[in-house]
Amino acid sequence: MSVETMIPLNSKAAKFVSTPKQLFINGKFVDAVSGKRFETLNPATGEVITTIAEGDKEDIDRAVAAARKAFEEGPWASMKPNERARLLLKFADLVEENIEELAHIDTLEFGQPLATTTAFASSVPELFRYYAGWATKVTGETIPVSTPGTIFNYTRREPLGVCAGISPWNAPVSVAAMKLAAPLSVGNTVVLKPAEQTPLSSLRLAELFVEAGFPDGVVNIVPGFGPTAGAALVNHPDVDKVAFTGSTVVGKEIMRSAAGNLKKVTLELGGKSPHIICADADYEKALANAAFGILFNSGQVCFAGTRLFVEKKIYDNFVSDLINYTKKYKLGSGFDATTTLGPLISEKQKNRVLNYLDIGQQEGAEMLVGGNAVSSDLANGYFVKPTVLANVQNTMTVAQEEIFGPVICAMPFDDLDEVVKTANETYYGLGAGICTTDLRKAHKLAHAIKSGNVWVNTYHLMDPASPMGGYKQSGIGRENGAASVLDTYTQIKSVWVDLD
Ligand code: ADP
Q: CATH number, domain at 334?
A: 3.40.309.10
- Asked whether 155 lines ligand 1 (CB < 6 A), one says no
| CA 165 to ligand 1 center in whole angstroms | 11
| 262 and 335 within one domain | no
- Asked whether 195 lines ligand 1 (CB < 6 A), one says yes
| 9 and 72 within one domain | yes
Ligand 1 atom 18: the closest Cα is on which residue? 226
For 183, 195, 196, 197, 450, the CA distances from 39, given in Å and listed in that order, are: 30, 13, 9, 9, 40
Comparing C-alpha atoms, which of 496, 452, 455 is closest to residue 477?
Answer: 452
Q: Please tell me the chain's helix, strand, coil percentages from 3-state DSSP, rounded to the nearest 5.
A: 45, 20, 35
Catalytic residue among 109, 126, 268, 402: 268
Q: Which atom of ligand 1 is nearest to the CA of 251?
A: 6
| 293 and 242 within one domain | no
Q: Is residue 20 part of a domain?
A: yes
- Asked whether 469 lines ligand 1 (CB < 6 A), one says no
Please report which helix (H) or strand (E) contains residue 77, including its range. helix 74-78
| 433 and 328 within one domain | yes
Q: What count of Cα atoms within 13 Å lies in the side-chain half-sphere of residue 74?
A: 16
| 265 and 278 within one domain | no
58 a catalytic residue: no
- Asked whether 196 lines ligand 1 (CB < 6 A), one says yes
| 205 and 103 within one domain | yes
Ligand 1 atom 17: the closest Cα is on which residue? 226
Q: Is residue 210 part of a domain?
A: yes
- Asked whether 230 lines ligand 1 (CB < 6 A), one says yes
Q: Pairing relation of β-strands 162-166 and 241-245?
A: parallel
Between CA 91 and CA 467 the distance in angstroms is 23
| CA 95 to ligand 1 center in whole angstroms | 26
Q: What count of Cα atoms within 13 Å lies in the side-chain half-sphere of residue 232?
A: 19
| 435 and 303 within one domain | yes
| 285 and 262 within one domain | no
Task: Give me the sheet containing 162-166, strands edge to edge.
Answer: 28-30, 23-25, 219-221, 189-193, 162-166, 241-245, 264-268, 475-476
Q: Is residue 193 part of a domain?
A: yes
Q: Is residue 288 part of a domain?
A: yes
Q: Name the residue type at position 433.
A: G
Read off φ and ψ for residue 388, nearest 5 degrees.
Answer: -120, 120
| 185 and 150 within one domain | yes
347 a catalytic residue: no
Q: Which of 52, 57, 110, 166, when mutated, tests ligand 1's pocket best, judged by the most ligand atoms within 8 Å of its CB?
A: 166
Ligand 1 atom 19: the closest Cα is on which residue? 226
**Could you read off the pLDDT tens digit of each residue along the chain, which spans 500 residues?**
567 899 999 999 999 999 999 999 999 999 999 999 999 999 888 899 999 999 999 999 999 999 999 999 999 999 999 999 999 999 999 999 999 999 999 999 999 999 999 999 999 999 999 999 999 999 999 999 999 999 999 999 999 999 999 999 999 999 999 999 999 999 999 999 999 999 999 999 999 999 999 999 999 999 999 999 999 999 999 999 999 999 999 999 999 999 999 999 999 999 999 999 999 999 999 999 999 999 999 999 999 999 999 999 999 999 999 999 999 999 999 999 999 999 999 999 999 999 999 999 999 999 999 998 777 778 888 999 999 999 999 999 999 999 999 999 999 999 999 999 999 999 999 999 999 999 999 999 999 999 999 999 999 999 999 999 999 999 999 999 999 899 999 999 999 999 99
| 3-state SS assignment for residue 491 | strand
Q: What is the CATH number of the domain that holds 147?
A: 3.40.605.10
- Asked whether 255 lines ligand 1 (CB < 6 A), one says no
Tell me how many domains the chain contains: 2
| 246 and 115 within one domain | yes
Q: Which atom of ligand 1 is nearest to the CA of 249?
A: 6
Comparing C-alpha atoms, which of 224, 218, 258 is closest to residue 242?
Answer: 258
Ligand 1 atom 15: the closest Cα is on which residue? 226
| CA 249 to ligand 1 center in whole angstroms | 9
Catalytic residue among 278, 302, 409, 435: 302
Q: Which of 38, 57, 250, 300, when mutated, tests ligand 1's pocket best, judged by the most ligand atoms within 8 Å of its CB?
A: 250
Do 40 and 52 contact (CB within 8 A), yes or no? yes
| 220 and 329 within one domain | no
Q: Is residue 500 part of a domain?
A: no
> Which domain range does residue 358 map to?
274-469
Q: Is residue 23 part of a domain?
A: yes
| 321 and 174 within one domain | no
Ligand 1 atom 25: the closest Cα is on which residue? 230
* DSSP assigned state of 299: G
Cα maximum dimension of the chain: 84
